[in-house]
Amino acid sequence: MSDVESGTGPTGIFSDLPSVENLPFHPMHVRVLDLQDSEERSAVFSAWQVDQSPNVFFQQVRERVESALLTELSLPCGALHDGPPAGWDWCRLLSFHPVPATHLGPLEILGFFPCKHETPIWTTALSRLRSEAQHVGFDIEAHQTHSFEARVEGRRKSEYLSLARELSASLGDEAWGAQPGHYWRQLARLLEVESAPTLEALDELEKRLVSSDIGVIRWIQPSLIQAACDLVGAIAAQQIGLPVQWAHCEADERGLAPPPLLRVDAGDELVHIPIALHIMRWWVMPLRHGEEPSPLSAWIRDQFGDP
Q: pLDDT tens, 102-123?
A: 999 999 999 999 999 888 899 9
User: Residue 250 has what pLDDT?
Assistant: 95
The answer as to whether 15 is a domain residue is no
Q: Kindly state whether residues 115 and 169 are assigned to the same domain.
A: no
Q: Kindly state whether residues 168 and 285 are assigned to the same domain.
A: yes
The answer as to whether 13 is a domain residue is no
Whether 196 has a pLDDT exceeding 90, the answer reads yes
Instruction: Tell which of 152, 169, 204 closes a domain.
Output: 152
Instruction: Report percent pLDDT > 90 for the chain.
Output: 79
Query: Pick the residue with more confidence: 42 or 12?
Result: 42
Task: Answer whether 27's CB lies under 8 Å from 20's CB.
Answer: no
User: Residue 188 has what pLDDT?
Assistant: 98
- State residue 95 phi and psi, 5-degree precision: -110, 135
Whether 141 has a pLDDT exceeding 60, the answer reads yes
The answer as to whether 41 is a domain residue is yes
Q: Kindly state whether residues 186 and 297 are assigned to the same domain.
A: yes
User: How confident is residue 21, by pLDDT bands cut at 50, 70 and 90?
Assistant: low
| 40-51 pLDDT, tens digit each | 999 999 999 999
Q: Kindly state whether residues 178 and 129 are assigned to the same domain.
A: no
Q: For the chain, what is the domain count?
A: 2
Q: Kindly state whether residues 216 and 275 are assigned to the same domain.
A: yes
Q: Kindly state whether residues 258 and 120 are assigned to the same domain.
A: no
What range does the domain containing 287 cover? 2-8+155-304
pTM over 0.95: no
Instruction: Tell which of 90, 120, 152 closes a domain.
Output: 152
Q: Kindly state whether residues 100 and 159 are assigned to the same domain.
A: no
User: Residue 277 has what pLDDT?
Assistant: 97
| 28-82 pLDDT, tens digit each | 999 999 999 888 999 999 999 999 999 999 999 999 999 999 999 999 998 887 7
Question: Half-sphere exposure (CA, 13 Å, Cβ side) for 213?
Answer: 17
Q: Kindly state whether residues 40 and 93 are assigned to the same domain.
A: yes
| 163-180 pLDDT, tens digit each | 999 999 999 999 999 999
User: Residue 16 has what pLDDT?
Assistant: 39
Q: Kindly state whether residues 252 and 228 are assigned to the same domain.
A: yes
Instruction: Tell which of 97, 123, 152 closes a domain.
Output: 152
